[in-house]
Amino acid sequence: MKPQRDRGSVAPEARGATNLRLGVSGIRLTGSHGVDPRERERGNRFEVDVECVCRNVDAVETDELADTVDYRAITDLVRETSSRHAFNLIESLAGAIAAALLKTFPMISETVVRVSKLAPPGLSDVDRTKAEVTRRRG
């Protein structure tokens, strides 16, 4: 009888470069982003979705948090980027978040950031507007 492997372990011959797609959806925040001065004064509600492609992720085999990108760290970075600067456009906010993710987490090779402005002022009967930015490591 063959011994069972520990959870997450892979035979050495099966290991190789592993790419992983991970994400966090529905990060809700309030920010002073918008073109209209009233939007900046009272703030708007936003929702952010992040997807990341990570190279050579050992966590697939090790089952250790230290070997991947922590979802909490991604969420904290999104909130910090939004609170650090007021953007006119959600396109710019999405781009800044994507750039910060690539700068902060060397394991990430590509990221897609979607920013939605919920109940955008001036657009009656519209649930949200959204912008999506994809950035890759050069």
For the chain, give every domain's residue range. Answer: 17-136
Bigger pLDDT: 81 vs 2: 81
* pTM score: 0.86
Express each pLDDT in 73-86 by its tens digit. 999 999 999 999 99
Cα angle value 123/78/88 (rounded, 5°):
40
Task: Indicate if 2 belongs to the active site.
Answer: no
CB atoms within 10 A of CB 23: 14
| Interatomic CA distance for residues 118 and 22, integer angstroms | 24
Express each pLDDT in 18-63 by its tens digit. 789 999 999 999 999 999 888 888 899 999 999 999 988 888 889 9
Q: Which of 2, 103, 117, 130 is catalytic?
A: 117
CATH number, domain 17-136, options 3.30.1130.10, 3.40.30.10, 1.10.10.60, 3.40.47.10: 3.30.1130.10
